[in-house]
Amino acid sequence: MAEDYVGDSLAPRELDETIRDPVRFHPHHRGPQPLGELDVLSERVSVLTTFSIANDVAKYFAIIPAMFLLAFPQLAVLNVMRLATPESAILSAVIFNAIVIIALIPLALRGVRYRPLGAAAILRRNMLIYGVGGIVAPFLGIKVIDLLLTAVGLA
């Protein structure tokens, strides 16, 4: 295919193929680019972003009450996890964050299985699996780590 290119533009024969088969080529690249590969990359990024945002929101329920509880006792309402101490809450969140980063490396490298679905269906599926999972996993993980740290006497 490299011989079909003239400078930065497509040769006439390649342009004819693009007009006949527009799905096979991505319009913003210099050459043929299967749209499927771009869809897989977009879905991988959206999955990681969805999980990361949900994960951060859940971690704030551990860190914010622990940091400001003495200065603002009204924040006790946000302490839904009832962690042992402010120190154990922050340490648990940091340890959980390190574990999550390591656990997400295979997902980032391997990605998710591509399914040719519509955008709404993909968003709904990703929000259900990775959004809800990103909120539930930190609550459970940070609480378990806090219980372990308290049992061992590190916090």
Q: Provide DSSP, 86-129.
A: HHHHHHHHHHHHHHHHHHHHHHHHH--------HHHHHHHHIII
* Tens-place pLDDT, residues 12-41: 555 444 444 444 444 554 544 444 555 555
Q: How confident is the model at residue 71 (pLDDT cuts 50, 70, 90)?
A: confident
**Higher confidence at residue 146 or residue 109?**
146
Report, in angstroms and rounded to the nearest whole number, the Rg of the chain calculated over CA atoms.
Answer: 24
pLDDT of residue 81: 87
Q: How confident is the model at residue 150 (pLDDT cuts 50, 70, 90)?
A: very high
What average pLDDT score do residues 110-121 get?
71
Q: How confident is the model at residue 142 (pLDDT cuts 50, 70, 90)?
A: very high
Distance CA(17)–CA(61), nearest Å, equals 55
pLDDT of residue 73: 86
pTM of this prediction exceeds 0.85: no
Asked if residue 130 lies in contact with residue 55, where contact means CB atoms within 8 angstroms, the answer is: no
Per-residue pLDDT at 79 exceeds 60? yes
* Tens-place pLDDT, residues 122-131: 778 878 888 8
Distance CA(134)–CA(117), nearest Å, equals 22
pLDDT of residue 15: 46
Q: Which H or E element spans position 5? A: strand 5-6
pLDDT of residue 114: 66
Instruction: Please classify residue 112 by burial: count the beta carbons closer than 10 Å to its beta carbon, then call 0-12 exposed, 13-18 middle and 19+ buried.
Output: middle
Q: How confident is the model at residue 43 (pLDDT cuts 50, 70, 90)?
A: low
Per-residue pLDDT at 62 exceeds 50? yes
